[in-house]
């Protein structure tokens, strides 16, 4: 989401461009209430000066800002999913480089992944770089790859099947 470009709309709602969706909603609800009632304790004292026209004008700008920002938030929520779908469409087989590409697109850090999966960073790197000879025996490597796939919410079965086919081919040739 290009928050700098959207700044005028955040300004209308009187919030920082870094505001969350909840903050956007709260600001809109409050300001809409303020300017909808010409007799409130806040608008009442200015009723004579402020005029119907400028009050309506403010309300219109609030609506516009809210809708633009809502759409932007909605789009930004879909962005990572759409990006990943595009990457997935190009993938024929889940090899090391493909897994790496997906992980990077999702913005997942290797160190965070290592912590969550309890797999050493070096093993994760070996999986991605297909250093088959540096990986442990088949049964362990299979477990690592399954864990890797689960962590990225990928189709575990397919990833393990694709990857292990390559692993087995490589290790059998060497052995």
Partner 1 sequence: MEDLKGIWAVGGGKGGVGKSFIASAIGTALARRGARVLLVDADLGGATLHHFLGIKKTAASLSDFFDRGRPLFELITGTPVPGLSLIRGHNATLGAENINYAQKNKFLRHLAKLAREYLVIVDLGAGSSHNIIDTLISADLMAAVIVPEIIAVENMYTFLKNALFRRLAAGLNQIGRQHVLIDTWKNRHGYGIKGFKGLIASLSGRDDEIGARVREEIENFRIHLIVNQARNRQEATVGNAVKSVCRKYFGIDCRYSGYVEHDEFIGRCVNRREIYMESYPASRCAREVERLTDNLLTGRQVSIIS
Task: Determine, following the binding rule CB under 8 A, whether residue 38 of this chain makes contact with partner 1.
Answer: no
Return the range that interacts with partner 1 (CB under 8 A); candidates 26-34, 71-79, 111-119, 160-168.
26-34
Q: Are 160 and 149 in contact (CB under 8 A)?
A: yes
Tell me the C-alpha distance between 103 and 29, whole Å: 38
Tell me the C-alpha distance between 24 and 72, whole Å: 11
For residue 63, what are the contacts with CB-CB under 8 A and spacing of at least 6?
A: none
Task: Determine, following the binding rule CB under 8 A, whether residue 18 of this chain makes contact with partner 1.
Answer: no
Of 2, 4, 18, 22, the one binding partner 1 (CB under 8 A) is 22
Question: Nearer Cβ to partner 1, position 64 or 85?
Answer: 64
Q: Are 15 and 69 in contact (CB under 8 A)?
A: no
Task: Determine, following the binding rule CB under 8 A, whether residue 31 of this chain makes contact with partner 1.
Answer: yes
User: Which tokens belong to 134?
Assistant: 């540096």
Task: Determine, following the binding rule CB under 8 A, whether residue 14 of this chain makes contact with partner 1.
Answer: yes
Tell me the C-alpha distance between 103 and 98, whole Å: 9
Show the binding pattern over residues 58-97: x = contacts partner 1 (CB under 8 A), - = does not: x---------------------------------------
Question: Smallest distance from the beta carbon of 121 to partner 1, in angstroms?
Answer: 39
Q: How many CB atoms lie within 10 A of CB 23?
A: 14
Task: Determine, following the binding rule CB under 8 A, whether residue 21 of this chain makes contact with partner 1.
Answer: no
Question: Nearer Cβ to partner 1, position 44 or 97?
Answer: 44
């Amino acid at each position: 989401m290009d928050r700098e470009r959207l700044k005028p709309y955040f300004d209308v709602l009187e919030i920082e461009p870094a505001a969350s969706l909840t903050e956007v909603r709260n600001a809109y609800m409050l300001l809409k209430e303020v300017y909808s009632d010409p007799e409130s304790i806040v608008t009442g004292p200015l009723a004579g000066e402020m005029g119907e026209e400028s009050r309506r004008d403010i309300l219109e700008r609030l609506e516009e800002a809210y809708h633009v920002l809502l759409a932007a938030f909605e789009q930004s929520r879909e962005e990572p999913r759409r990006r990943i779908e595009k990457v997935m469409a190009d993938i024929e087989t889940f090899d090391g480089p493909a897994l790496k590409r997906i992980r990077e697109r999702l913005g997942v850090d290797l160190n965070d992944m290592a912590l969550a999966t309890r797999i050493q960073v070096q093993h994760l790197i070996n999986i991605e770089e297909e250093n088959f000879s540096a990986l442990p025996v088949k049964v362990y490597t299979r477990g690592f790859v399954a864990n890797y796939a689960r962590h990225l919410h990928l189709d575990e079965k397919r990833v393990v099947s694709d990857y292990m086919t390559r692993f087995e081919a490589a290790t059998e040739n060497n052995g």
